[in-house]
Amino acid sequence: MTRAMRRHALPCVLVALSCCVAVTAGPRMPVQAAVPVESYRVVNVYPHDPAAFTQGLIYREGFLYESTGIRGQSSLRKVKLETGEVVVQRRAGLETHFAEGLAEWKGQLFQLTWQSKVALVYDLASFAPRGTFAYSGEGWGLTHDERRFILSDGSNHLRFFDPMTFRETGHVEVTDQGRPVTDLNELEYVDGQVWANVWHTDRIAKISPETGRVIGWIDLRGLISGGFKLESEAVLNGIAYDAPGRRLFVTGKLWPRLFEIDVIPRARE
């Protein structure tokens, strides 16, 4: 091979090598499918106190138990589902607190506070105080699975607590296709999933408590009629599940209605 031929051959070799590198590069990472978005159908509509700044909501044996917020107006309530009548109410001891999420564990109610860093404990039947538990950070939503409390604090974390000691035992980060989902608010545990209101949205996130991944969304746009003149903070907040009857109830802060809904699968977004 002449010197001139070698000069022409060198660029060709380099081009060939670069082509080989491109061809033998590792496989592309698979693109994660979009998380399914579900719709809803209204089954029943019930009255709801339009002065109730709903922060926590659960259903037990025919009654709703509700935690309402606003410092100086916070309360714990037992509410008749069909009429919205408040049959038992407690405000004593809540004067200085902004009440938040609510959960029941073995005959006791646990009520979070927003910035007081304390959970208030009551007897389910009488609402008599049974003690308090301290925790760090803010309290937003509260629910539980078979063995632990699950708490939201407005971030993209779900935090786990021992129900007997309220000692924090772990947490997961909540993400949707790798992106953090923040402003997690009121919580409910439904069939092995944590369902969370996302503050100032009309969506409920369905979250795997093991991984923190959002595995579905429920789009509740249009649930409350535009005919109701609601203030900016009167947002969707409140999920209660009747597990034996498989009924789902939702409402919002200062909403005049509470809705029983069916969740309906919908085409992926």
pLDDT at 45: 97
From first to last of its 269 residues, the chain has per-residue pLDDT tens of 444 444 444 444 333 334 433 434 444 434 456 889 999 999 999 999 999 999 999 999 999 999 999 999 999 999 999 999 999 999 989 999 999 999 999 999 999 999 999 999 999 999 999 999 999 999 999 999 999 999 999 999 999 999 999 999 999 999 999 999 999 999 999 999 999 999 999 999 999 999 999 999 999 999 987 667 678 899 999 999 999 999 999 999 999 999 999 999 875 54
The token pair that represents 127 in the structure block: 């609402």
The answer as to whether 12 is a domain residue is no
Q: What is the pTM of this model?
A: 0.85
Residues 6+ apart with CB under 8 A from 75: 67, 68, 89, 90, 91, 94, 99
The answer as to whether 34 is a domain residue is no
Which structural domain range is residue 188 located in? 46-264
pLDDT at 34: 84
The answer as to whether 1 is a domain residue is no
Question: How many angstroms separate the CA atoms of 135 and 146, rounded?
Answer: 21
Rg of the chain over Cα atoms, rounded to whole angstroms, equals 25
pLDDT at 12: 40
pLDDT at 32: 56
CA angle 204, 76, 123 (to 5 degrees): 110
The answer as to whether 269 is a domain residue is no
pLDDT at 217: 97
- Give how many domains the chain has, as a whole number: 1
Q: For residue 237, what is the domain's CATH number? A: 2.130.10.10
The answer as to whether 8 is a domain residue is no
Torsion sign across C-alpha atoms 9, 12, 14, 17: negative
The answer as to whether 177 is a domain residue is yes
Residues 6+ apart with CB under 8 A from 121: 108, 109, 110, 111, 129, 130, 131, 132, 133
The answer as to whether 130 is a domain residue is yes
The answer as to whether 201 is a domain residue is yes
pLDDT at 151: 98
